Amino acid sequence: MTRGSGTIQLLCHVKPGVSANREGIAAVSDERIEVCVAAQARDGEANKAVREIIADVLRVPKSDVEVVKGMKSRDKMVAVTNISTNRKPEEEIVRTRELLADSIGR
């Protein structure tokens, strides 16, 4: 993927403290993405795990993923920056949604 200047924001609902084998994307709906993390919700551990999962699923560097809202909440806004500008925004949204949906249960 070509690095660009685009940004996608994802509304996530995080479930911290799940067993390690359940960690990952649990569901994708029109409203939000459900992310399960094994890390506990303390000292930013769950936020770090969310960043790692989103980066892995979307195949982007962790440095391009940031929790921008909801640092101490289960509902978070996650920004993914440096999105390719070679595609139309609608195409990039569809691609992102497909990657997230395809990762459910893996």
Is the alpha carbon torsion for 98, 102, 84, 76 positive or negative? positive
The predicted-structure confidence for 55-100, as pLDDT tens digits, reads as follows 999 999 999 999 999 999 999 999 999 887 777 888 888 999 999 9
Asked if residues 66 and 7 have their Cβ atoms less than 8 Å apart, the reply is no
Asked if residues 12 and 96 have their Cβ atoms less than 8 Å apart, the reply is no
What is the structure's pLDDT at 4?
53
> Domains in the chain, start-ordered, CATH in brackets?
5-103 (3.30.1200.10)
What is the structure's pLDDT at 1?
34
For the CA atoms of the chain, what is the radius of gyration? 13
